[in-house]
Chains A and B, each alone.
Chain A
Amino acid sequence: MIGLVALHFLAAAVAPALTRLLDRRAFLALALVPLGSFVWLLGPVGDVTSGGAIHATRWTWIPGLGLDVDLAITPLSGVMALVVTGVGALVLAYCAWYFRAGDPEIWRFSGVLIGFAGAMLGLVLADNLYVLYVFWELTTVLSFLLIGHNPERRANRRAAMNALLVTTFGGLAMLVGFVVLGREAGTSRLSEIVAAPPTGAATTVAVMLVLVGALSKSALVPFHFWLPGAMAAPTPVSAYLHAAAMVKAGVYLVALLAPAFAATPGWRPVLLVLGLTTMVIGGLRALRQHDIKLLLAYGTVSQLGFLIAVIGAGTRAALLAGLGLVCAHALFKATLFLVVGVIDRSTGTRDLRELTGLTRRLPVLAVAAVLAAASMAGLPPLLGFTAKEAALAAFADLGQDADLGAWGDVALVGLVLGSVLTVAYTARFVWGAFGVRDVPEPAIDRPAAGFVAAPVLLAALGLVAGFTGKPLTERLATFSDQLPEGAHEPVLTLWHGFTLPLLLSGVAIVGGIGLWLARRQVAAAQQRFVDGLHVPDAERSYHAVVRAVDRLSVEVTGRTQRGSLPFYLAVVMVVLVVVPGTALLMAWGDISVRGPDNVLQVAVAVLMVVGAVLTVRSRRRLRAVLLLGVTGYGTALLFVAHGAPDLALTQVLVETFMLVTFVLVMRRLPPFFSDRPFTTTRFLRIGLGVLSGVAVAGFALLAAGARTADPIGPLFAGPAYEYGGGKNIVNVTLVDIRAWDTLGELSVLVVAATGVASLIFLLTDRATSHRSARRARRPAANADGALTAARTLPDTRRSTVFEVVTRLVFHGLIVFSVYLMLAGHNDPGGGFAGGLVAGLALMVRYLAGGRRELDAAAPIDAGTVLGLGLAVAALAGLLPTLLGGGVLQSAIVDIDVPVLGTLHLVTSVFFDVGVYLVVIGLALDVLRSLGGGIDKQRERAEAEEAAA
């Protein structure tokens, strides 16, 4: 079963390629998928509809959430699946003639349509609330694409958007309903919920929410307006959407839940009132249309109201009639739309005022259309007649079966009224499409036999099914039999005897034909009625709601999105001070403080406080940056005093690198900060700063003092040595115990470095500079001990002493960085510290010899280093899984090396190599961009100035 659905999506994936290859004939190949599914389904569906056990499959999806893909073929879902695949196959085949050869859009259309068919099949087969929801929304999204097939027209875009908004709104309400229903029932399996339905207020609310979803999908009042707009889709899509898919999803859901929840308070009143109202409104509007496709679209609205009312009535007789109607409707509505498609393609118009003489010119098509129309109107001997007779019979006993009393008879009257209108608009359709008028006959392209085959086949099926009432009743009754017996045993048959339903059918037919004969007077009366009453138009109300939401968002955005960064940050800080600050004041209690741990702390603290305050006061950029360095190095000293050598080492290295980077950028920026008028905002800023500082200090005092549990850190020592194989607990934590964190951090570094490079080099390739360097590669130093590439600098910028020192220390620094990385497992150091030392070594080379010297020192693209580092780290993390361990698990290998002793190798060292490389890549990117890149731009600017 799951294979059937998957096959549809697979076909959707290959459809674009297939249409390239076969053009519109690809539809015939694609039609094989639903056709094959139909044939495959015949066996199991035949089995379950003759009393066999339900076919169910389960595929575990997300076991952690208890989500499984449950699919089941039940009598109901099986019949629906046959309708979906059968009509789907015919519609797809029909597309092969409907579209013109060489249509440039069908590559996309074909994929979406078959995907839509797959989603619909999944929807009806789903036996799990959430699986059903997923397919439900999938049909919503795909129908949006189908309706918006030609997005160049604004009205089409809006029609697609309306359908999307309305059905998504309903879908979300339904999802909430599903969640509540699933919780109340204790299971998300639909078959289990229906077998043992929960009751209570929560269930009632949940069921009502689910009905919102069903009604919006099935285009019932007040959601009915999206469906006529959906005829913006190509006609085959309309045929499928209106007859077998999409709108039938709501009907299906109501049918699925009716046996369990029809007695829920509100269920019958809501569905009967809205259903019958929709039936009447849709019928009335259909009578006013000139476009025969639009006429059919309103006819669908009317029919959907009919179906929902009958199935929603939820008695045994009504369910059997309803399922029969669903089949009848699928057959005749698909036929009629496909007929309209043929007429449209053959004559180039769908306006009934321009059509004439088609009966003579297209006799086969006319016969098919009349058969289908007769089925729609409920004329014998078609399936539409037998099903409608059964529906009338069910409603005649509704008062007794559903305890509705006289209201059942009111519903029956509504049903008859709707049927009268149905006959009337059916007559209008037949007269409109095939009548004879006093207008010039449109030119006709004779349609190919294949083009007409699908509607003829569907119409013939409707005729055959009318005569096979007995076997059909037996099959469909396997669904309705889950309800208790009613006043009469329902049956689909052409002849009941002279009964009330037959009389009512007669009334409908006579009344309908009467309405059609008096169509001018009826139209005038309708017009007067609409003009006089000012009935609220659903579409206009919907539009007003959408407009109000849009206005609200503009107001809210205008008020909250000031677009000012200081304002946003101030809001964040004020919230920090006010909300947790209030909590702080309320919780303020015993605070136990102690003095400094040692004298060093006091000295450093004084230095940092002074440095920080002076940083704020400085108006020179460079001064602010240097004072920032004071607090940075001070922090490093605090780390030392605390007993955190790794932190201190990293902090010193980072601070140095950052200081130089700041200076590299500051050399281009103006020396002073821009002058700001001395205003009150300055005091506000300082005030907010002081408050934030006090608040954070307060949190520190209270939170650190409020510790109740033992810290977990000291427990790291044992595992760090035993499993991590290292004595430096901090570094083992980084590369083993919390290695996932580190991996995430590496990604951040890669992103930041790439961002830096892209901001400076913009679109140009950052790799160019080292490539040219590699071409001109020479020994790094010449005989006099200076740096070679430094010769490219003007003499005034060179320093022989600096160059010589650089030459002396560079290689030593690199070796030291590798040592730090390797030693980090047991002693202070590690990949971060090692990488930073290597970065500083490169920085020294750059400072001494300029950007070409940097290229000579590292003739490789920074992006390559970054990528390599991330890849090494990721592979080092994945490697243990190949050896049967967990991700990022370390292994300790002791290798006996002769003479030297035992080599103690821990695999996490490879992870550290990745860290080392990423940090070097970051340093290289920063130096190339903020160093060399800015140099280059300055040189260019100076050259331009000199030229000018």
Chain B
Amino acid sequence: MSVNVVLVVVVGVLVGCGVTLVLERSLTRILVGFVLIGNGVNVLFLIASGAAGSPPLIGASDDPMSDPLPQAMALTAIVITLGVTAFGLALAYRSWQLFGHDDVQDDLEDDLVRRRAELDDTSATFDEADTDVPDEEGSDPA
């Protein structure tokens, strides 16, 4: 199957730009990059579906139809992108509300674990051995 080179270029540029943005720290930029990648991947579905054709409506045209299956998949993907983007925007707004910016910060808990690793320490929940003997509930006369 021959591949439409124009669409390939579009996919490459959209994904490349999207990845560049996603690697940023600003949640807005990450979201914009996410949507760019989403658009790029939807075009990728077009490439995979073969040559262009008439709309996949039965009886609408005598020309060969475009493949309906990748279209059905891309359609759900488009709507999902909307839902996830809305969620991301709510996150960005919340971050702005709490910290005055929408930059993604490094996780503090992970930093604590790293510091424990540097100190050759065990995890916070580790139970060090002691000489305590287990005792049954109720054996205490009090």
Contact = CB atoms under 8 A, between A and B. Distances in A.
A232 interface: yes
Nearest to A657: B82
Interface string B1-29: 11111111111111111111111111011
Contacts of B44: 696, 700
B17 A694 contact: no
Contacts of B129: 540, 543
A661 B17 contact: no
14 contacts: A344-B139, A563-B114, A612-B13, A644-B74, A658-B35, A696-B11, A700-B3, A707-B1, A717-B58, A727-B58, A727-B59, A745-B76, A756-B86, A756-B87
A100 B91 CA distance: 54
* Interface core residue of B14, B56, B65, B70 (most chain A CB under 10 Å): B56
A561 B116 CA distance: 13
A585 interface: no
Interface of A: 99-100, 105, 149-150, 153-159, 161, 229, 231-235, 293, 344-345, 348-350, 540, 543, 547, 550-551, 553-555, 557-559, 561-566, 569-570, 573, 591-598, 601-602, 605, 608-609, 612-613, 615-616, 621, 624-625, 628, 631-632, 635, 638-639, 641-647, 650-651, 654, 657-658, 661-662, 665-666, 668-670, 673-674, 676, 685-686, 688-690, 692-694, 696-697, 700-701, 703-705, 707, 711-714, 716-717, 720-721, 727-730, 733-734, 737-738, 741-742, 745, 748-749, 752-753, 755-756, 759-760, 826-828, 832, 836, 919, 922, 926, 929-930, 934, 937
B80 A748 contact: yes
Contacts of B52: 597-598, 641-643
Contacts of A929: 90
Given A550-B126, A551-B120, A752-B83, A704 B113 contact: no
Nearest to A595: B5
A930 B110 contact: no
Given A563-B108, A593-B8, 10 more contacts: A150-B137, A563-B110, A592-B2, A594-B3, A605-B7, A643-B52, A661-B86, A689-B17, A703-B48, A752-B83
A760 B51 CA distance: 45
A934 to B, nearest CB: 7
B86 A728 contact: no
B122 to A, nearest CB: 5
B76 A631 contact: no
Interface of B: 1-26, 28-30, 32, 35-36, 39-40, 42-44, 46-60, 65-76, 78-87, 89-94, 96-97, 101-104, 106-111, 113-118, 120-123, 126-127, 129-130, 132-139, 141
Contacts of B113: 554, 557-558, 561
Nearest to B110: A563
B93 A760 contact: yes
Given A563-B108, A563-B110, A658-B35, A593 B28 contact: no
Contacts of A234: 136-138
B134 A156 contact: yes
B136 A231 contact: yes
B49 to A, nearest CB: 7
B8 to A, nearest CB: 5
A665 B89 contact: yes
Contact of B83 (A558, A615, A686, A748): A748
A806 B130 CA distance: 75
B26 A674 contact: yes
Closest 7 A-B residue pairs measured CB to CB?
Answer: A693-B16, A558-B117, A563-B110, A689-B20, A563-B107, A150-B137, A697-B12
A479 B8 CA distance: 74
Contacts of A926: 86
Contact of B93 (A348, A639, A930): A930
Given A697-B9, A748-B83, A688 B68 contact: no
A306 to B, nearest CB: 25
A644 B68 CA distance: 8
A836 B114 CA distance: 47
B24 A651 contact: no
Contact of B47 (A100, A233, A564, A700): A700
B139 A601 contact: no
A729 B59 CA distance: 11
B102 A669 contact: yes
A696 B32 contact: no
B13 to A, nearest CB: 5
A603 B103 CA distance: 36
A547 B126 contact: yes
B65 A643 contact: yes
Contacts of B83: 748-749, 752-753, 922
Contacts of A562: 106, 110, 114
B16 A694 contact: yes
B103 to A, nearest CB: 6
A553 B73 CA distance: 40
Nearest to B125: A550
Given A234-B136, A593-B2, A700-B44, A654 B14 contact: no
B78 A605 contact: no
A665 B4 CA distance: 38
B76 A646 contact: no
B108 A625 contact: no
Contacts of A596: 4-6
Contacts of B39: 631-632, 635
Contact of A569 (B9, B22, B58): B22
A55 B28 CA distance: 68
Nearest to B103: A674
Contacts of B137: 105, 149-150, 156, 234
A238 B23 CA distance: 58
A850 B12 CA distance: 41
A609 B10 CA distance: 6
B54 to A, nearest CB: 5
B2 to A, nearest CB: 4
A934 B93 contact: yes
A350 B76 CA distance: 70
A616 B20 CA distance: 8
Nearest to A697: B12
Contacts of B115: 558
A100 B138 contact: yes
Contact of A597 (B51, B84, B116): B51
A688 B20 contact: yes
Given A662-B89, A692-B19, A547 B43 contact: no
A651 B43 contact: no
Contacts of B28: 621, 624-625, 666, 669, 673
A650 B86 contact: no
* Interface core residue of A608, A632, A737, A745 (most chain B CB under 10 Å): A608
A580 to B, nearest CB: 13
A669 B93 contact: yes
B24 A685 contact: yes
A700 B11 contact: yes
A608 B16 CA distance: 13
Contacts of A624: 28-29, 32
A255 B123 CA distance: 41
B35 A601 contact: no
Contacts of B73: 741
Contacts of B30: 565
Nearest to B122: A550
Given A760-B93, A930-B90, A716 B82 contact: no
Contact of A573 (B5, B8, B19, B40): B19
B48 A643 contact: no
A235 B57 CA distance: 76
B123 A832 contact: no
A744 to B, nearest CB: 9
B90 A760 contact: yes
Contact of B135 (A156, A693, A728): A156
B78 A608 contact: no
Nearest to A706: B1
B29 A673 contact: yes
A713 B49 contact: yes
A692 B13 CA distance: 9
